[in-house]
A = this chain, B = another copy of it.
């Protein structure tokens, strides 16, 4: 997605597309690497003159609030961010730390205890060993 498209996308979701926001969104959309705020800051601080961590946090919180980005609780000590807001789960490899997406069918949750519950946000994370690390 081009930056001009991202500008439109943010604008359509009620987010003023100021430069730093566009750059951060562009990073999320093009890398698709489920980064932490720290990772985004470290990658962009050289590219964006005078970027601060506060702005990264402000921007990510705005994106989450306006629902163009999901915050992921994959690990307890850090929040990761994902611009893919379609329903999917995340697998994190204990060996290499890589995060992989996977799909699941929520219709297979059939528990009477959730009768008449309104299910809103799904967070499905699995950890283990990925196929690459498993070969060794």
- Docked Cα-Cα span, A40 to B128, in Å, equals 29
Binding stretch for chain B, among A5-13, A26-34, A110-118? A110-118
Tell me which residues from 82 to 136 in chain A have a Cβ below 8 Å from any Cβ of chain B: 89, 91, 94, 100-111, 113-131, 134
Number of copies: 2
Binding stretch for chain B, among A14-22, A50-58, A72-80? A72-80
Do the beta carbons of B116 and A131 come within 8 Å of each other?
A: yes
- Docked Cα-Cα span, A115 to B130, in Å, equals 9
- Docked Cα-Cα span, A73 to B105, in Å, equals 21
Do the beta carbons of B105 and A108 come within 8 Å of each other?
A: yes
**Interface residues, chain A, with chain B CB atoms under 8 Å away:** 71, 73-76, 79, 89, 91, 94, 100-111, 113-131, 134
